[in-house]
Amino acid sequence: MAFAAPKADAKAKPELAAAKAADKAKPAEAKGKAAAPTISVEKKGSYVYWFTYKDVDGVQQATLPVRFKGKSADIDTKALGEKFSSAKLFVMNKSTGNLAISDYPPGKSVDLGADDFQYVRTVRLRIVAEDGKPIESAVVRITDGMNAKMSALVTPADEGVATFANVASGEATVKVEAEGLRKTIDSDIEVPDKRDTPDYERDVKVAGDVNTIAVKPKAAGQAGQKPERGGGLSAILQTLAGFIVLVIIIAVVVIVLKARGVTSKSALQGLGVELPGDASGQVAPGLPQGPAIDPSVCQFCGQRKDANGNCSCSVVPGVGPAAAPGAGAPGVPRLVGSQGVYAGHIFEITSASMVMGREADNPIPLPNDTTASRRHATISQADGGFSIRDEGSSNGTFVNGAKITEQKLSPGDEVQIGGTKFRFEV
């Protein structure tokens, strides 16, 4: 007896059709075709990217830089090979020269914000003695803005220059080790995130009996210098054009002065140039006289100074107008700003040791003076007197015009911190 094959369930046909349609609609990555990873940046611009990595033999390698424009690009990982490790992605903003550096997870996209571009590709620190001559040999160690520690060797062939790569911008510390070196003067530097050039260079001054070298200027045509085509003729034409423009400017100035009845003598006198007097020792008639300056009047507010030469316009930061110097607590030592950023400000010395500098938390804060270091100097009281000590500031501390490391203070001494001169009073 023959048996007929069972008929397919009519309800199953629509389900099979739906499954086939769903399979066709699956994305490429679900079918084994992964989408290419991308680089995304916050600001549209022109960029280049590359990788550093270790190959299958553990040798450090780098890929050829790839350019892209806009805000995103597919990442080409073919140059990395099939087996690699410790890959890092470098992306440079061509307009600023700043770098973003990140670990690269294989197959993953990378999103970069504006704050990620904080690295400087090349930083060159020229280590010089106090007379400005480059140091012969040294080991230079830095801690950059991300607290990464780096070191570089300086040899006689380097002409005092220590070179660092991929340095985070911001405040950095520098320590120089060399024979006979006593102190790294510029131990506190700032690596700017905005520069005129992609790299950054500056001098770092050291103190001590160090060996230095005399650097000879390179002659044109030496290795590493390409002579410009037509440079001689171009220089001559530029010099000639500049001379012609200068002659025209001088002629116009002379014509205008004559039209106004101003003589050359009166013009020079107006500029403050001293001219020979007549036989009686007086300035010849007709020459303008400079305005008399009254030393008893404050140059800042126009008020009369007191008997000690102080003015009532002196202020203490964050407090407002201060009382006249004579109205303060008797016998309290203080620094009175006489010139510069903090001219007219008074800082009383109320403890045995007070640090002054750019940090707002200092007992004597100078936040508005960008030429002052974060911890610039310390004023201390000992043995019934006062002294000031430089704390390794970038621009130095001066007493009565002389640069000091540590110096006793006497009433009336002039102390310069950054861009301000103070008078020490007791």
pLDDT: which is higher, 99 or 230: 99
Whether residue 99 has pLDDT greater than 80? yes
Whether residue 237 has pLDDT greater than 50? yes
Residue with tokens 């403050």: 272
Q: What is the mean pLDDT of residues 399-417?
A: 93
Highest mean pLDDT among 15-19, 28-32, 405-409: 405-409
CA distance 397 to 378: 10
- Span of 75-79, 86-90, 343-347 with lowest mean pLDDT: 75-79
Dihedral of the CA atoms 10, 15, 16, 20 (nearest 10)?
A: 150
Contact 345, 423 (CB under 8 A): no
Q: What is the mean pLDDT of residues 58-73?
A: 92
Q: Residue 99, Cβ neighbours under 10 Å: how many?
A: 23
Contacts 24+ apart (CB under 8 A), 409-416: 409/379, 409/385, 414/338, 415/335, 415/388
Residue 187 pairs with which residues in a beta bridge? none
Q: Residue 325, Cβ neighbours under 10 Å: how many?
A: 19
DSSP 3-state assignment of 409?
A: strand
CA distance 160 to 154: 6
- Give the up-direction half-sphere exposure of residue 102: CA atoms within 13 A in the CB hemisphere: 18
Model confidence pLDDT, tens digit, residues 162-219: 999 999 999 999 999 999 999 999 999 999 988 888 899 999 999 999 999 986 655 4
- Give the up-direction half-sphere exposure of residue 173: CA atoms within 13 A in the CB hemisphere: 9
Q: What is the mean pLDDT of residues 80-95?
A: 89
pLDDT: which is higher, 28 or 262: 262
Whether residue 126 has pLDDT greater than 50? yes
Whether residue 272 has pLDDT greater than 70? no
pLDDT: which is higher, 363 or 286: 363
Residue 227 burial (C-beta neighbours within 10 Å; 0-12, 13-18, 19+): exposed
- Span of 135-139, 264-268, 330-334 with lowest mean pLDDT: 264-268
DSSP 3-state assignment of 207?
A: strand
Q: What is the mean pLDDT of residues 142-155?
A: 94
Question: What per-residue confidence (pLDDT) applies to 82?
Answer: 81
pLDDT: which is higher, 27 or 415: 415
Whether residue 142 has pLDDT greater than 50? yes
How far apart, in Å, are the Cα atoms of 326 and each of 231, 294, 304, 307, 362? 67, 22, 14, 9, 26
Highest mean pLDDT among 79-93, 148-162, 229-243, 257-271: 148-162
Residue with tokens 């010089």: 128
Helix (H) or strand (E) holding 254: helix 231-259
Whether residue 312 has pLDDT greater than 80? no
Helix (H) or strand (E) holding 424: strand 420-425
- Span of 22-36, 57-71, 166-180 with lowest mean pLDDT: 22-36
Question: What per-residue confidence (pLDDT) applies to 387?
Answer: 94
Strands 200-208 and 119-128: parallel
> What tokens were used for 91?
């992306």
CA distance 363 to 347: 9
Residue 103 pairs with which residues in a beta bridge? 88
In terms of phi and psi (left: phi > 0; alpha: psi -120 to 50; beta: otherwise), the region of 280 is: alpha
Question: What per-residue confidence (pLDDT) applies to 77?
Answer: 84
Mean pLDDT, the chain, integer: 79
Residues 6+ apart with CB under 8 A from 421: 337, 338, 339, 340, 343, 414, 415
Q: How far is CA 205 from the centre of its chain?
A: 16
Residue 205 burial (C-beta neighbours within 10 Å; 0-12, 13-18, 19+): buried
Whether residue 90 has pLDDT greater than 80? yes
Contact 77, 48 (CB under 8 A): no
Question: What per-residue confidence (pLDDT) applies to 34?
Answer: 60
Confidence of residue 240 (pLDDT cuts 50, 70, 90): confident
Contact 71, 86 (CB under 8 A): no
Model confidence pLDDT, tens digit, residues 358-374: 999 999 999 999 999 99
Model confidence pLDDT, tens digit, residues 213-223: 986 655 444 44
Q: What is the mean pLDDT of residues 20-24?
A: 54
> What tokens were used for 147?
């607290």
- Span of 150-164, 272-286, 400-414 with lowest mean pLDDT: 272-286
pLDDT: which is higher, 294 or 221: 294
Contact 415, 406 (CB under 8 A): no
Percent of the chain whose pLDDT exceeds 90: 49
Whether residue 273 has pLDDT greater than 90? no
